[in-house]
Structure 1
Amino acid sequence: MTEQTIAIYCFIDDFFLAIGRKDDAHCKLSDAELLTTALVAARFFYGNLHSACAYMREHHGVRMIDKSGFTRRLHGLKEQLVALFLALGQSLKQLNTRSRYLIDSFPVAVCDNIRIARCRLLRGEGYRGKCVSKRCYFYGFRVQLIATEEGLPVQFYIHAGSFVDITAFKAMELDLPEGSRLYADAGYTCYEVEDLLKECDGVELRACRKRNSKRADQPHMAFLKDHYRKRIETTFSGITALFPKKIHAVTPQGFILKIILFIFAYTLSQIIE
């Protein structure tokens, strides 16, 4: 735990030094220490910031600030947090010489279905979605995740739960190297999108075909698609294992921020370990 905490801090601090970001001279808690604490909370304490702050203060001598100030600064560093993840993702893409990537989505429920009418965090039917694999409905967000062949996340897109995979994929700003092959399930089937990606970006979307598909696969291609896309399910299991029984947040932005922290913390843990 100590080694991972130090590694996370060094990565964040080096990134801030590389981009020339400097802390305010009057800040008691640096930005690198703050983001490290948030990621440690997601990695080891199920997102509990209070426990992570206590750990960092007692075991690493970090001078903590009050809870409200910590939360405000964390929200203010959301762009830097996403930039850190994208920078790490670019490095992973460069190391992924086979250029095989996986895409799929997983739901993150805000509350149980029976409590939707009393939910204060979100309002509207736009957040009610269906999880086909589990044959159930949920109320909250859906995360589109792109991972390497080894299951390391490199890009994500969080959206309302009612949007199906292919609709969200069209809205997603895909950033993959030319010549990449992106494996997906049948929910991402759209011949127009496949043709545009291949022609404009040089990315081949290999979605599993339905029985009535107009572009049926040869048996060997169907086997490859089914084989590679299953690896991302293990990634989803690893990310959701970090979740608490209920993700505590006061605003939708805070809820999304915690999802980002869980995805980032999982990626760092896989790299460090």
Structure 2
Amino acid sequence: MTEQTITIYCFIDDFFHAVGRKDDAHCKINDAELLTTALLAARYFHGNLCSAYSYMQAHHGVRRIDKSGFTRRLHSLQPQLQALFSALGQSLKELNTSSAYLIDSFPVAVCDNIRIPFCHLLQGQAYRGKCVSKRRYFYGFRVQVITTSSGVPVQFYIHAGSFVDITAFKAMEVDLPPNSRLYADAAYTCYEVEDLLRECEQIELRCCRKANSKRKDEPYMAFLKDYYRKRIETTFSGITGLFPKKIHAVTAEGFILKLILFIFAYTLAQVID
């Protein structure tokens, strides 16, 4: 765990030096230490920031600050956290010589269905979605994730749970290298989107075809799509395996921030390990 902590800290600190970000001289802990603590919380402590901070104090000599100050600074660093993930994702794309990527989504419930009328974190029917694979409804967010062919996340998009995959995909800014192949299930079927991606971005969207599809696949192509698509389910199991029984957050922004930390922590774990 010590080696992983040092590796994460060095990665964040080097990135901040590269972009010219300087720490406030009055801060007791610098930004790299704070983000390292938050990522360790997601990786090893099920998102418990207090436990991760106690570990950093005991084993790495991080100075103590109050919980509210730590949380405020963490929220203010969310743009830097997303920039860090984008930089890591860009490096992973450059190393992905196969040019094959996978996309799918997984639901994250904020509360049980029976508690929807009493939920203060989210309000409105936009967050009520359906998980077809589990045959149940949920209330919360849905996370679109693009991974490499080996299942390492390189891009994600968090949206309200009621939006289906293809609707969210149209709103998502897909940033993949030219001549990439993006494998998806039948929920992403949209011939217009496929044609636009091929003509404008040189990205081939390979969706699994339904029985009544107008664009039938050759048997070998159907096998390839089904083979690649299943790998991303293992990624989702790994990400949700980091979740606690209930993700604690006071605001919707805090809930989303913790989701970002879990996805980032899983990606770092795949890269480091």
Tell me by how many angstroms 1:250 deviates.
0.5
Given the alignment of the two structures, is residue 157 of structure 1 paired with residue 149 of structure 2, yes or no?
Answer: no
Q: Could you say which residue in structure 2 is the equivalent of 1:260?
A: 260
The answer to whether 1:116 aligns with 2:127 is no
Task: For 1:23-34, list aligned pairs within 5 A.
Answer: 23-34=23-34
One-letter code aligned to 1:88:
L
Q: What is the CA distance between 1:64 and its match in structure 2?
A: 2.4
3-state SS of paired residue (1:20): coil
SS in 2 for 1:122: coil
Residue identity opposite 1:86 in structure 2? S
In 2, Cα distance between the equivalents of 1:174 and 1:24?
35
Runs of 4+ in 1 over 4 A off after TM superposition: none
Give the AA of the match of 1:272: I
Tell me which residue corresponds to 1:41.
41
Which residue of structure 1 lines up, in the alignment, with residue 204 of structure 2? 204
- 1:98-118 Cα deviation digits (max 9, x unpaired): 100000000000001111111
Q: Secondary structure at the match of 1:106?
A: strand
Q: Which residue of 1 aligns with 2:78?
A: 78
Aligned partner of 1:57 in structure 2 is 57
Partner of 2:272: 272
Alignment-derived partner of residue 218 in structure 1: 218
Structure 2 match to 1:166: 166
**Deviations 1:1-34 (Å, cap 9, x if unpaired)?**
1111111001000000111111011111100000
Letter paired with 2:186? A
Q: Give the whole-Å Cα distance in 2 for the aligned partners of 1:204 and 1:240.
A: 29
CA-to-aligned-CA distance 1:242-273 (integer Å, 9 cap, x gap): 00000000000000000000000000011111
Q: Secondary structure at the match of 1:90?
A: helix
Counterpart-to-counterpart distance in 1, 2:135 and 2:227: 22
Question: Which residue in the other structure is 2:178 paired with?
Answer: 178
Q: Once the 2 structures are TM-superposed, how far is the Cα of residue 79 of structure 1 from its aligned partner?
A: 0.2
SS in 2 for 1:23: coil
Deviations 1:137-181 (A, max 9, x none): 100000000000010000000000000000000000010000000
SS in 2 for 1:174: coil
**Separation in 1, partners of 2:140, 2:104:** 17
Report the Cα distance in structure 2 between the residues aligned to 1:73 and 1:217, rounded to whole angstroms: 51
Q: Provide the C-alpha distance between the structure 2 equivalents of 1:31 and 1:138, rounded to a whole number of angstroms.
A: 35
Residue 38 (structure 1) shift? 0.2
Say whether 1:67 aligns with 2:67.
Answer: yes
* TM norm structure 1: 1.00
Q: Could you tell me the percent identity over the aligned residues? A: 80
1:126 aligns with 2:131: no
Q: Hey, what's the Cα distance between the residues in 2 that align with 1:75 and 1:193?
A: 35
1:236 and 2:236 matched: yes
Counterparts of 1:45 and 1:118, CA distance in 2: 28
Whichever residue aligns with residue 192 of structure 1, its letter is E
- The reply on whether 1:103 has 2:103 as its aligned counterpart is yes
Letter in 2 for 1:190: C
Q: Which segments of 5 or more consecutive residues in structure 2 lack a partner in the other structure?
A: none
Aligned residues: 273
> 3-state DSSP class of the match of 1:3?
helix
| Aligned counterparts of 1:151 and 1:262: Cα–Cα separation in 2 | 15
